[in-house]
């Protein structure tokens, strides 16, 4: 039984493109330490889930696939998805995820411009790093006013990565990315950053990613 469960898990994970596999790992962060998840390959993630959720790893995987919108994989592999999973196990990010400060429009600053519905792929960590390298000294202003993050979280990022402004920018963007999940697209981030005083190259870069 365990072998069949492992084989099914591995087939499911191998069916995911790399971007969605990384998204799946981030959605699991509330239940598995990030230190185990982030470097895990597909076979390693199978082993982690089998160890931490014996007999229930397929349910856990099905719940995350539902969050990713991959109902086709749930059906193809006949994964056990139950209605009460969402109620019993709320798929929230890890506890250090920042709260939005009264933002009526998810993803942007309070009172910001809603992102237009564009068929744009979700940003990757590599994309975020390229944006982070272009952000200037006003990163906290960007985080608070345009991404809806809390100042205390930005200060925490700075303390955890002393003397590395690029990592400050990257972690700030990644907090937004985790919060937005499948809505963290190039068009959404561009819409949020347009009112900010930034290097025009950032908006041009995000524009180039739209529709990819």
164-188 tens-digit pLDDT? 888 899 999 999 998 888 888 998 8
* Residue 50 neighbours by CB under 8 Å, 6+ apart: 2, 5, 6, 9, 57
Residue where the block lists tokens 């798929």: 91
pLDDT at residue number 41: 92
More confident: 42 or 106 = 42
- What token pair was written down for 6? 């492992």
Cα gap 163→149, rounded to integer Å: 21
- Residue 71: is its pLDDT beyond 60? yes
**Using 50, 70 and 90 to split pLDDT, how confident is the model at 16?**
very high
The pLDDT value recorded for residue 67 is 81
What secondary structure, in 3-state letters, does 21-89 show? HHHHHHHCCCCCCHHHHCCCCHHHHHHHHHHHCCCCHHHHHHHHHHHHCCHHHHHHCCCCCCCCHHHHC
CA-wise closest residue to 70 among 57, 83, 81, 86: 81
The answer, yes or no, to whether residue 90 has pLDDT greater than 50, is no
Thinking of the domain 125-209, which architecture would CATH place it in? Orthogonal Bundle (1.10)
Query: What percent of the chain clears pLDDT 90, i.e. is strictly above it?
Result: 13
**Confidence check: pLDDT of 86 > 80:** no
Residue 56 above 80 pLDDT?
Answer: yes
Separation of first and last alpha carbons in the chain: 41
Coil, helix or strand for 20? helix
Provide the mean pLDDT of the chain.
78
Tell me the CATH number of domain 5-77, given options 1.20.1070, 1.10.533, 1.10.260, 3.40.50. 1.10.533
pTM for this entry: 0.47
Q: What is the mean pLDDT of residues 9-37?
A: 86
For the chain, what percentages of helix, strand and coil (3-state, to nearest 5) are there?
Answer: 60, 0, 40
pLDDT digits (tens, 9 = 90+) for 94-111: 444 444 443 434 455 444
Q: What confidence tens digit (pLDDT) does each residue in 127-152 have?
A: 898 898 888 778 888 988 888 889 89
CA dist 42 to 8, 15, 36, 101, Å? Answer: 12, 10, 12, 36
Range(s) for CATH 1.10.533.10 in the chain? 125-209
Place of tokens 């009460």: 84
């Amino acid at each position: 039984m365990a072998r069949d469960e492992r084989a099914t898990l591995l087939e499911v994970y191998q069916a995911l493109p790399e971007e969605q596999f990384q998204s799946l790992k981030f959605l699991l962060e509330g239940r598995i330490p990030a230190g185990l998840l982030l470097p895990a390959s597909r076979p390693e993630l199978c082993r982690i889930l089998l160890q931490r959720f014996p007999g229930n790893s397929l349910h856990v995987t099905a719940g995350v696939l539902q969050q990713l919108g991959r109902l086709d994989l749930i059906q193809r592999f006949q994964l056990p998805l139950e209605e009460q999973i969402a109620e019993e196990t709320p798929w929230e990010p890890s506890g250090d995820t920042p709260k939005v400060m009264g933002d009526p429009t998810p993803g942007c600053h309070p009172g910001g411009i809603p992102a237009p519905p564009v068929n744009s792929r979700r940003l990757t960590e590599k994309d975020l790093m390229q944006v982070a390298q272009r952000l200037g000294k006003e990163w906290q202003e960007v985080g608070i006013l345009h991404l809806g993050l809390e100042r205390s979280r930005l200060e925490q990022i700075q303390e955890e990565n002393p003397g590395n402004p690029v990592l400050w920018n990257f972690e700030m963007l990644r907090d937004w990315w985790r919060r937005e999940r499948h809505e963290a697209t190039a068009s959404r981030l561009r819409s949020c950053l347009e009112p900010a005083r930034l290097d025009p190259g950032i908006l041009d870069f995000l524009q180039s990613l739209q529709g990819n």
